[in-house]
Amino acid sequence: MKRSSGVLLPVFSLPGELGIGDLGISAYEFIDFLKQSGQSFWEVLPINPVDPLYDNSPYSPLSSFAGNTLFINVSLLKEHVFFENISKSSNLINYDDVKKMKYHYFMDVYRSFKKEDDYYKFIEENKDWIYDYALFISIRNYIGKRLYDWPYEIKTRNKDKLKYYQEKLKKEIDFQIFLQYIFYKQWYNLKKYANKKGIKIIGDLPIYVNYDSADVWSHPEYFMLDEKLNPLFVSGVPPDFFSKTGQLWGNPIFNWDKIKEENFRWWIDRFIHTKKLYDVIRLDHFRGYVAYWEVPFGEETAINGKWVKGPGEELFKELLKKINDPNIIAEDLGLITPDVIELRDRFNFPGMKVLQFAFDGNPSNDYKPHNYNNKNCIVFTGTHDNNTTIGWFQESGKKQKMDFIKYIGGNLSEKINWAFIRLAMSSICDVSIIPMQDVLGLGKESRINTPGTIGKNWKWKLSSNYYSKSISKRLLEYTETYGRI
């Protein structure tokens, strides 16, 4: 990657028109803001369908292939729409209200929708996943239960039961396919506009999938499941300095032996699909491709897990046979061992640096910019899992604050967020990514996610009046000063 910079902002955090960020005018205006500010990248989080059972986390989607229909912009579907009782001033998303309002309009548009050639072309191009997804989500909505609790015959895809639900839920299945068609039409139009403006989109590919997903239901053979299709093992990370019991994520573990038998076909299809969505792919939990922490299903903590070897370079060698230039970023944070670095460097994937991890009083801290020894990396002030930079400083201890202040020469003449942005921009890293909250200098109330907690995450969105010529000009100045245009 050439020396450049970008901004991190999830789609759901755009101002939007119905209580959530979407693919409408606010997304196009944000791209214009990036262009005017001299940026080259817009980083988003996964854009797959979410569910309140999983805190609406984009990292626990109901499908690895389907799009989040809450991101569909209603005004692009239907002219002269008048929205009632919508709080445009709120900076928090109420997912239940958003879904009720949007689906009212979606159904109205669907009733008069005429299927044309591009609709059938879309279905043909996505036939490997779209029928299974539409059936899965239709059954799930009808039964009102997660996959764990489905009746055995439909959970295990009994042919007679499948046929029964395909007939019974025919209209709902058709409606779900229609929504995917609309989502992808709006997404690809937006991506085309971004690319025309010189903005590339960076998107995430989570390593794991949700058990309660169309992926597991339609391809149980690719996961470590018992005869009742319940998980044998689940994902997590081992105990460390931050957690004596580790982290129990609960995603089903892949049956890598079976996947390998088929030359990683399902995984490569997933890569190819993701590559169509984004210009650059950030591989979440990259260390899991080398070795992953496997915990027996039913454990209450991650203590009794063990390390199991991952697919490693075999997967990426096979991938490169299908995609010449995958444009991958390796999320190499956390417990990183030499074999993880070796795999990353074997394929020349850029790694990540996070400035909020740098200030612990140790001059040798790998995240301090003077210790960066390779420009092939992406530097962040913070990620979606971090506090905002202003929030970080306010909640940091005296040792962290003093280390940071000393590092920038003891001068706090510029605001904390801009001091961080300057450090990121001036580093040797090829790319710097700044969360939009840091560009605007927002506090902890604008944090997107706090790992290990539920209830308050994935809800923050921008106010509609966020745009400021002075902020855009300042971001442009920093970008120009440090040669990132």
Tokens of 50: 């979410």
Residues 6+ apart with CB under 8 A from 102: 18, 69, 70, 72, 74
Active site residue 284: yes
- φ/ψ of 353, rounded to 5, equals -125, 140
The one catalytic residue among 43, 204, 331, 332: 331
366 in Cβ contact with 321 (< 8 Å): no
The one catalytic residue among 269, 299, 339, 385: 385
Give the SS3 label for residue 201.
strand
What string of DSSP letters covers 77-116? TSSS----S--SS-SB--HHHHHHHHHHHHHHHHHT----
Question: Would you report the helix, strand and coil content of the chain in percent, each value rounded to 5?
Answer: 45, 15, 45
Q: Which amino acid is at 163?
A: K
Residues 6+ apart with CB under 8 A from 475: 37, 38, 39, 421, 434, 439
217 in Cβ contact with 136 (< 8 Å): yes
The one catalytic residue among 284, 332, 430, 438: 284
Tokens of 296: 């027996």
* 91: number of Cβ within 10 Å: 15
What string of DSSP letters covers 445-484? GG----TT--SSSS-B---TT---HHHHHHHHHHHHHTT-
Active site residue 385: yes
Pairing of strands 233-237, 351-354: unpaired
Catalytic residue positions?
Answer: 284, 331, 385
